[in-house]
Amino acid sequence: MASPSPVPDVERLAQGIRAGDRTVLSRAITLIESKRADHRGAAAALTQALLGATGKAVRVGITGSPGVGKSTTIDALGSMLTRQGHKVAVLAVDPSSRRSGGSILADKTRMARLATDADAFIRPSPTSGTLGGVAAKTRETMLLCEAAGYDVILVETVGVGQSEIAVADMTDFFLVLVLPGGGDELQGLKKGVIELADMIAINKADGDNLPRAKLTAAEYGAALHILKPASANWSPPVVTYSALKGDGIAALWAHILDHRQKLTASGELVARRGEQQVKWMWAMLEERLFAPLRSDRALKAALPKLEAEVAAGRLAPASAVEKIAEMLGR
C-alpha cells in the first residue's frame, strides 16, 4: 500500500502564493480541502501565515436560478476587470454536487475568455457534501487567492437553498441575477434571497426582451421598496443588463464600487467582515465536531437504528444523544 503523501512545506507554499504562482496556489487549495488531520494543521498554519496579505480584495457573491446567465455574466464582468488591470478569482459554493469538481468545471466552457485569461483563476468548490464544509473551504480558498494578488473575488452559488446565505456571509456585495419574467419570476424568487441582495440585476435585457426586462425591474424595485434595507448606508438598486452583448456590465461594477466606498466610509465594511470571520470560525468548528458522524463506520452503522428507536418513541432523544456521545468518546 502506498504511503500517504507528505505534509507540504508551509513556508514554501506561503512564499509561492505571495509570488502569485498559480501552480503553488492550486496545490495549497488542495491542502486546504484535505480531510487528513496532519493536513488540517498545515492548512491552518498556512492561512495564519498569509493572513496579513488578505482582506484587500473586493468580494462579490453572485446567485440566480439556472439559465439566468451566471457563467456568461461572470465571464463578461471578469474579462472587463482583467482588461482594466485587475486579477480575478472565480470560486463556487455547490453543496448539492458530489461529482469531482462540482458543476463549475462544466461552466468553464461558458467562461471561454476567463478560462484562458492569465489574470483569472477559476476554482470549483470541494465535494464535501455539506454546506458548512464547502463554505468553510471556499472561505479559506478566498483568503489564499487574496494573498496571491487576486483583488476581485467572485463567489458563485451553484447550489440551492441555504447556499445563498452562505455566500452572502462570505462576501461584501451580494448580486442576485434574474430573468425578464414579471410576476411569476418575482414569486419564484424567495423573499429571503431578495432581502440578502445588495443589487438585483435583470439579465438578457436586449432585443424583444427589453420591455419585459424594464417591467421586471420596476416590479423588483417595488418589492425592495417595502423591505427594510439590510444596511442603513445602502439602498439596493435594480438594474437591467445584457451579459451576452456586454451592455450594462460596466454599470454593474460601478454600483459594486459605490457600495464599497459607502460601507468603507461608514465603517460598516470592517464591522461586517469581523462578524463574518467569527461565523467562519464557528462553521469550521461545527464541521470539525460533526466529522466523526460521517467518517466513523461503527457510528454511521448505529445511527439509523438510534433514529428508528427515537422515532418509534422507544428511546428518548436525550438518551440517544448520550449513546452517540459515548460512542464518540466524549
Nearest of 48, 94, 90, 51 to residue 73 by alpha carbon:
90
Residue where the block lists cell 447556499 = 163
Residue 304: exposure state from Cβ atoms within 10 A (0-12, 13-18, ≥19): exposed
CA distance 79 to 133: 30
Start-end of CATH 1.20.5.170 domains in the chain: 1-53
- Lowest mean per-residue pLDDT among 88-92, 103-107, 250-254, 277-281: 103-107
pLDDT of 160 reads 61
> pTM for the full model?
0.86
* DSSP-assigned letter for residue 92: E
The string of pLDDT tens digits covering residues 274-293 is 999 998 888 888 877 877 77
Residue where the block lists cell 461594477 = 253
pLDDT of 6 > 50? The answer is yes
State the DSSP H helix or E strand holding residue 53, giving kind and residue range, or none if neither.
none
- Lowest mean per-residue pLDDT among 58-72, 74-88, 99-113, 254-268: 99-113
Homologous superfamily of 54-266 in CATH?
Answer: P-loop containing nucleotide triphosphate hydrolases (3.40.50.300)
Assigned CATH for 1-53: 1.20.5.170
For residue 62, give every residue at least 6 positions away whose Cβ sits within 8 Å of its Cβ, in sequence order, or none.
70, 73, 74, 154, 155, 156, 157, 167, 175, 177
CA distance 193 to 224: 11
| Cβ-contact 103, 160 below 8 angstroms | no
Report the amino acid identity of residue 11. E
pLDDT of 131 reads 67
Residue where the block lists cell 426582451 = 209
The C-alpha cell that represents 166 in the structure block: 452562505
The string of pLDDT tens digits covering residues 111-133 is 889 999 999 999 987 655 566 66
CA distance 257 to 260: 5
CA distance 124 to 105: 7
For residue 162, give every residue at least 6 positions away whose Cβ sits within 8 Å of its Cβ, in sequence order, or none.
95, 131
| Cβ-contact 291, 35 below 8 angstroms | yes
Start-end of CATH 3.40.50.300 domains in the chain: 54-266
